[in-house]
Chain A
Amino acid sequence: MKKSGAEILVECLKKEGVKHIFGYPGGVVLNIFDTLYDEKDIQLILTRHEQGAVHAADGYARASGKVGVALVTSGPGATNTVTGIANASMDSVPLVVFSGQVPTMLIGNDAFQEADIVGITRPCTKYNYLVKDINDLALTVREAFHIASTGRPGPVLIDLPKDVTAGKADFVWPQQVKIRSYNPTYEGNKWMIKQAAQEIARAKKPVIMAGGGVIISNASKELRELAEFMDIPVTTTLMGLGGFPGTHDLSLGMLGMHGTYYANMSMQNADLIVGIGVRFDDRVTGKTSSFAPHAKIIHLDIDPTSIRKNVRVDIPVVGDVKLVLKELLKFLKDEAAKEQWSAIRKSWLNQIQQWKKERPLSYRYDENIIKPEFVVEKIYEITKGNAIICTEVGQNQMWAAQFYKYDKPRKWLSSGGLGTMGYGFPAAIGAQFACPHDLVIDIAGDGSIQMNIQELATAVINKLPIKVAILNNGYLGMVRQWQELFFKERYSHTHLESGNPDFVKVAEAYGAVGLRAIKPEEVEPVIMFEEEEKTEKKLKAVK
Chain B
Amino acid sequence: MRHTISVLVENKFGVLSRVSGLFSGRGYNIESISVGETIDPQISVMTIVTIKVSPRKADRLELLKLTEIFRGRIVDSGPTTYTIEITGEEGKMNAFIELIKPFGIKEFVRTGKVAIAREGIKK
Contacts of A122 in B (CB 8 A): 14, 17-18, 21
B9 at the interface (CB under 8 A from A): yes
0 or 1 for each of A95-125: is its CB under 8 Å from B? (1 = yes): 0000000000000000000000011001100
A183 at the interface (CB under 8 A from B): no
Contact assessment for A123 and B9 in the assembled complex, using a CB-CB cutoff below 8 Å:
no
Chain A contact surface mostly: helix
Contacts of B14 in A (CB 8 A): 118-119, 122, 130
Nearest residue (CB) in B for A124 is B25
Within 8 A of A (CB), among B39-56: none
Contact assessment for A123 and B10 in the assembled complex, using a CB-CB cutoff below 8 Å:
no
A181 at the interface (CB under 8 A from B): yes
Which of A119, A130, A180, A181 is B17 in contact with, Cβ under 8 Å? A119
Within 8 A of A (CB), among B93-108: none
Nearest residue (CB) in B for A128 is B14
Contacts of A123 in B (CB 8 A): 21, 25
A218 to B49: give the CA distance in the assembly, Å: 47
Chain B contact surface mostly: mixed
Which of B9, B21, B25 is A181 in contact with, Cβ under 8 Å? B9
Which of A118, A130, A181 is B10 in contact with, Cβ under 8 Å? A181
A123 to B17: give the CA distance in the assembly, Å: 10
Contacts of B10 in A (CB 8 A): 180-181
A118 to B15: give the CA distance in the assembly, Å: 12
0 or 1 for each of A473-513: is its CB under 8 Å from B? (1 = yes): 00000000000000000000000000000000000000000
Work out how many contacts link A and B, with CB atoms closer than 8 A: 15
Within 8 A of A (CB), among B1-44: 8-10, 13-14, 17-18, 21, 25
Nearest residue (CB) in B for A127 is B18
A123 to B20: give the CA distance in the assembly, Å: 10
0 or 1 for each of A174-203: is its CB under 8 Å from B? (1 = yes): 000000110000000000000000000000
Nearest residue (CB) in A for B8 is A181
CB distance from B22 to the nearest CB of A (A): 8
Q: How many residues of B are in contact with the other chain, CB < 8 A? A: 9
Nearest residue (CB) in A for B12 is A129
A348 to B9: give the CA distance in the assembly, Å: 50
CB distance from A128 to the nearest CB of B (A): 8
A130 to B8: give the CA distance in the assembly, Å: 21
Contacts of B25 in A (CB 8 A): 123
CB distance from B100 to the nearest CB of A (A): 26
CB distance from A131 to the nearest CB of B (A): 12
Contacts of A119 in B (CB 8 A): 14, 17
0 or 1 for each of B62-97: is its CB under 8 Å from A? (1 = yes): 000000000000000000000000000000000000
Nearest residue (CB) in A for B24 is A123
CB distance from B55 to the nearest CB of A (A): 30
A143 to B115: give the CA distance in the assembly, Å: 37
A122 to B10: give the CA distance in the assembly, Å: 16
CB distance from B53 to the nearest CB of A (A): 25
Contacts of B8 in A (CB 8 A): 181
A181 to B13: give the CA distance in the assembly, Å: 15
Contacts of B21 in A (CB 8 A): 122-123
Nearest residue (CB) in B for A182 is B10
0 or 1 for each of A442-455: is its CB under 8 Å from B? (1 = yes): 00000000000000
Nearest residue (CB) in A for B17 is A122
Nearest residue (CB) in A for B25 is A123
CB distance from B17 to the nearest CB of A (A): 6
CB distance from B26 to the nearest CB of A (A): 10
Within 8 A of B (CB), among A112-162: 118-119, 122-123, 130
A180 to B10: give the CA distance in the assembly, Å: 9
Contacts of A130 in B (CB 8 A): 13-14
Q: Which residues of A contact B (CB under 8 A)?
A: 118-119, 122-123, 130, 180-181
Q: A119-B17, A181-B10 are in contact. List 13 more A-B contacts (CB 8 A).
A: A118-B14, A119-B14, A122-B14, A122-B17, A122-B18, A122-B21, A123-B21, A123-B25, A130-B13, A130-B14, A180-B10, A181-B8, A181-B9
A-B interface, 3 closest residue pairs, ranked by CB to CB distance from nearest = A123-B25, A123-B21, A181-B10
- Some 15 contacts from A to B, beta carbons below 8 A apart, are A118-B14, A119-B14, A119-B17, A122-B14, A122-B17, A122-B18, A122-B21, A123-B21, A123-B25, A130-B13, A130-B14, A180-B10, A181-B8, A181-B9, A181-B10
